[in-house]
Amino acid sequence: MRLFVNVDHVATIREARKTVEPNPLEAALLAEKAGADGITVHLREDRRHIQDEDAQKIRRGISTPMNLEMAAVEEMVCIALEIKPFQISLVPENRQEVTTEGGLDVIGHKERLIAIRDRLKPAGILFSLFVDPDRLQIDAAREIGADSIEINTGLYSERQAPDALKAELEKIRVAAGHAAQRGLRVFAGHGLTRKNVGSISAIDAIEELNIGHHIVSRAVMVGMLQAVEEMRLAIRPITK
Ligand code: PXP
């Protein structure tokens, strides 16, 4: 199963200060070195983390495929045609949300999605749709000619009670099998952690995962020791 590492929240830390560090491209290169099969960035309309320049630099700088997540709007289609990532994933976007809150309503936006597909696919960009584990939305994705779907694991990741967790996992398993049977490539992501990823990665139909927040959070923790040790050395007075 392929792992695409989402580096958005490296940019979130940088944007907290509007400075130059940490650099999302540097994080992407380290992720590749550690075994990432690809890099994902979400260029949001409000540019709260990844900036246009980051997307350009990551596209040029990495050696694995780039997955560009974006809203289904004209501005983003133009940017995607310029950057030419390996793949784009359309996601619903709402300015007030803290993170993506649900899958796309493919059924309700077929015409718009077909128009976007007709501009991106001829440019050689794979066309993926982020959807909830819902058979009807998956059928609609197939109908409009998506290459792949990414199943939203957000609800699964929020479930605490064992029964509810099991039910949500089963929904994902059934949806993934349904999509794969219809010839769609199946990815999954949102809210995945080291603790909850095992059951998702055991689903045969899923071939790729997109994971961001947990990896960046963990990177802060495992890197803290070295960062403080380096600072202790740096503030040691220079002896003449
Ligand atoms: N997939 C999609 C479509 C997303 O919007 C996000 C969050 O940017 C992710 C996967 C990754 O989610 P997380 O950061 O919770 O791992």
The predicted model gives 46-51 an average pLDDT of: 96
CA-CA-CA-CA torsion for 36, 152, 184, 175, nearest 10 degrees?
130
Contact of 39 with 58, CB cutoff 8 Å:
yes
In this predicted structure, the answer to whether residue 29 has a pLDDT above a threshold of 80 is yes
Three-state DSSP class for residue 230: helix
Q: Which residue in the list 49, 69, 178, 208 is annotated as catalytic?
A: 69
* pLDDT greater than 70 at residue 240: no
Q: How confident is the model at residue 100 (pLDDT cuts 50, 70, 90)?
A: confident
With a 6 Å cutoff on the Cβ, whether 211 touches ligand 1 is yes
Q: Is 69 a catalytic residue?
A: yes
Q: Is the dihedral of CA 173, 179, 181, 185 positive or negative?
A: negative
> Ligand 1, atom 12: nearest CA belongs to which residue?
190
DSSP state of 46: T
Q: How far apart are CA 238 and CA 240, in angstroms?
A: 6
**How many Cα atoms occupy the beta-carbon half-sphere of 16 within 13 Å?**
7
CB 212 within 8 A of CB 190: no
Residue 94's pLDDT band, with cuts at 50, 70 and 90, is: confident
Global pTM reads 0.95
Mention every residue, 6+ apart, whose C-beta is less than 8 A from residue 47. Answer: none
Report the nearest atom of ligand 1 relative to the CA of 6: 11
**pLDDT tens column, 140-156:** 999 999 999 999 999 99
Neighbours of 170 (CB within 10 A): 12
Question: Which one from 9, 49, 190, 214 is the annotated catalytic residue?
Answer: 190
pLDDT at residue 133 is higher than 80: yes
* Structure confidence at residue 95 as a pLDDT band (50, 70, 90): low
Query: Mutate which of 2, 9, 12, 42 to test ligand 1's pocket (most atoms within 8 Å of Cβ)?
Result: 42
Spatial CB neighbours of 182, under 8 Å, sequence gap ≥ 6? 138, 139, 142
